[in-house]
């Protein structure tokens, strides 16, 4: 069965600091991986996706994620946090042949001034 | 339409009542998904439609939950004999239903959700 584990339900960083949100996946076959963001009172939006074309994936708003098969990880990073990055972030996985996307439990990112 | 539209945005009902939640997907998207998101949790898969048929309903929690998509566009999620534990935000998403190796990369576009509160 496929699943994702997001380490840390809440991460707080200072404005301008590095953002690192952790995601580990469990899948018996190479998966497709996604990061979605949910701003307060808004719907889920796609940040970026991994589809095996390149292990380092760049997304919107300066975020990027690196697929590491040996570590079964797909951590999300941003070099310099901005106040507008405060939101809930969800890692998600889908097997190539599967229909459904499985989401992690989410990490709430807070930015300190 | 331009995005995925869900109605109502908020629904308050009493325990034991019947509710319907509607989803209008992006025009041309053949795949439609329903998820449920409880407070502090990630979205939980409920059911997936490819066209008019439910291709995967493994996430429906019990037989009180049912969903239809009769014409392959609008979908309705139906909950009978609601319970307090059904309170959550119900999310709908749609995507292009492309088959083949690119299928897994299809991106889901989500609606804003329908918040259901069962008193």
pLDDT at B110: 94
Contact between A96 and B104 using a beta-carbon 8 Å cutoff: yes
Closest to A88 measured CA to CA, from B40, B91, B10, B5: B40
Distance from CA of B101 to the nearest CA of A (A): 7
C-alpha dist (Å) from residue B83 to A74, B40, B42: 37, 19, 20
CA–CA distance, B82 with A94 (Å, rounded to integer): 31
Residue B112 has pLDDT above 70, yes or no: yes
Residues 6 or more apart whose CB falls under 8 angstroms from that of A34 comprise A46, A47, A48, A49, A50, A91, A92, A93, A94, A101, B107
Q: Are B11 and B117 in contact (CB under 8 A)?
A: yes
Q: Six-digit token pair at B96?
A: 């292009």
CA–CA distance, A76 with A63 (Å, rounded to integer): 7
Query: Exposed e or buried b for every residue in B6-32, given b needs 16+ CB within 10 A?
Result: beeeebebeeeeebebebbbbeebbbb
Contact between A96 and B35 using a beta-carbon 8 Å cutoff: no
Return the bridge partners of A46, or none. Answer: A36
Average pLDDT, stretch A60-79?
A: 94
Closest to B21 measured CA to CA, from B64, B74, B99: B74
Q: Which of A5-9, A98-102, B2-6, B100-104 has the lowest mean pLDDT?
A: B100-104
Residue B35 contacts A where some CB pair is shorter than 8 Å: yes
Strands B88-95 and B31-37: antiparallel
pLDDT grade for B101, boundaries at 50, 70 and 90: very low
Considering only CB atoms, B105 lies closest to which of A51, A103, A106, namely: A51
Q: Six-digit token pair at B11?
A: 């629904």
pLDDT grade for B111, boundaries at 50, 70 and 90: very high
Residue A47 has pLDDT above 70, yes or no: yes
Q: Six-digit token pair at A46?
A: 């796609």
Residue A49 contacts B where some CB pair is shorter than 8 Å: yes
């Amino acid at each position: 069965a496929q699943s994702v584990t997001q380490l840390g339900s809440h991460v707080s960083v200072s404005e301008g600091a590095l953002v690192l949100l952790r995601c580990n996946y469990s899948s018996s076959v190479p998966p497709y991986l996604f990061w979605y963001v949910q701003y307060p009172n808004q719907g889920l939006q796609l940040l970026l996706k991994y589809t095996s074309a390149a292990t380092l994936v760049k997304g919107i708003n300066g975020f990027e994620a690196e697929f590491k098969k040996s570590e079964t990880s797909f951590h999300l990073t941003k070099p310099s946090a901005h106040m507008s990055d405060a939101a809930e972030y969800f890692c998600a996985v889908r097997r190539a042949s599967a229909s459904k996307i499985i989401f992690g439990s989410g990490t709430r990112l807070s930015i300190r001034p | 339409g331009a995005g995925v539209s869900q109605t109502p945005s908020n629904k308050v009902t009493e325990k034991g009542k019947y509710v319907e939640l509607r989803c209008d997907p992006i025009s041309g998207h053949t795949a439609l998904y329903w998820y449920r998101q409880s407070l502090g949790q990630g979205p939980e898969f409920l059911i997936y439609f490819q066209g008019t048929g439910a291709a995967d309903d493994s996430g429906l929690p019990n037989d009180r939950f049912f969903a239809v998509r009769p014409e392959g566009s609008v979908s309705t999620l139906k909950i009978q004999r609601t319970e307090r534990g059904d309170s959550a935000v119900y999310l709908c998403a749609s995507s292009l239903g492309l088959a083949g190796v690119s299928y897994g990369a299809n991106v889901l576009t989500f609606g804003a959700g329908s918040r259901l509160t069962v008193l």
